[in-house]
Structures are given as C-alpha cells and as structure tokens.
Amino acid sequence: MVGRTEPSLALVPPSQPTHSHVSLATSATSQGLHDTLAHGLRSVAVDVAEKHPLENRLKSWDATRETLQMTLERNMYGLHAPVRLQMERQLVSSAPTPLSLGLPGMGFTKPGGNVHLDVLMGRDEEITPEDVLIDRAQSSSTAVTGNFHQMMERRMNLV
C-alpha cells in the first residue's frame, strides 16, 4: 500500500493509462543531452502515441494484483494486516540471503533473488524466464563459481 492513496477492488488493470508523462530525461547523459548512439533516435510523438490496450494491462498487472490483495486483507482482517505484510516485505528485502538457500552463482538462486520475498509476494510457485535463463556473466561477476569455500571467503571479505 506504499504510494497508493485509495484501496481498489479492481481485478484487471485498465486498458488505457490513467496519465501520460513524457520526458527526455530517461535517455539523457550527465550533460543533459540525448545519447543517440546508445539509445537510438528519440521521438516524443512515439511516447505519446496510443499503445495496444494489452500492453498497459500487462505493465500494471502486478500492481493491480497487489492493491487488490491489500484491500481484501484490509477489509477482512483490519488495517493491521496490510501494514504487517508491508513491514515483513521490507524486513525480508533488506536481509541477506541465508547460506542454507545457497549463494548466487551456485545454481540455487538467481542473482539478486530473494526466496523469502518471493513467498511473501506470492511468486514462490511461479516459474518465470528469469528463473530459468540465468545470466552466467552476471552470476560469475558476483561470486566465484564452483568452490563453496572460495565463495564464502569472498563473501566474508577474507580474500
């Protein structure tokens, strides 16, 4: 419920965006100029143009689902239920991954993954492309692959 002003019982997100915001700052460099080589040609008309209704629904699907879940919990159990769930999510997202679940790069978890947060968010039974297609370059840069002891030494800053 962080950032949301009113509860909603909507099952499906709206097909059209509720507001449109166009900014050239997303592709600007530190000097404030658009980097054409890195981001391609920039057109404000493309950003303002209407998109397919399904695209907006898919973009806001998770937020709508979370708002519905929080509203239902608030209506059934009172205000403390969504507040407690938000507090648990915040605590779990800031905590490091326990060693019993494996270190990133060992093949047990995806880099940057958090099993506890996935359970609290209801994503523990989903299999997404990020779960299957692990970027080996990213996982090898975050941890030494293969030897558990080397990974632990690196994690504890002993090397």
Query: Residue 10: inside a domain, yes or no?
Result: no
Q: Please indicate, yes or no, if residue 135 is contained in any of the structural domains.
A: yes
Residue-wise pLDDT for 20-75, tens only, equals: 554 544 555 566 677 777 777 777 776 667 778 888 888 888 899 999 999 999 99
Residue 132 inside a domain? The answer is yes
Residue 1 resides in a domain? no
pLDDT of 1 reads 45
Note the pLDDT of residue 23: 53
Q: What is the mean pLDDT of residues 137-158?
A: 67
CA proximity to 15, closest of 56, 50, 44: 56
Structural domains counted in the chain: 1
Whole-number pLDDT of residue 70? 94
DSSP 74-96: HHHH-THHHHHHHHHHHHHHHSP
Q: Is the pLDDT of residue 13 over 70?
A: yes
Query: Half-sphere exposure of 76 toward its Cβ, with a 13 Å CA cutoff?
Result: 9
Of the candidates 141, 91, 144, 134, which has an alpha carbon nearest to the alpha carbon of residue 116?
91
- Cβ neighbours of residue 59 closer than 8 Å, sequence gap 6 or more: 13
Structure tokens at 81: 């239920």
**Is 58 part of a structural domain of the chain?**
yes
Per the structure, the complete domain to which residue 68 belongs is given by 54-155
Helices (H), 42-147: 44-48, 53-59, 61-77, 80-94, 115-121, 129-132, 136-142
DSSP 8-state assignment for residue 122: T
Residue 93 placed within a domain: yes
Task: For residue 20, tell me if it sits in a domain.
Answer: no
Residue 16: inside a domain: no
Name beta bridge partners: 34: 28
Mind listing the pLDDT tens digit for each residue in 63-120? 999 999 999 999 999 999 999 999 999 998 887 766 666 555 455 556 567 788 888 9
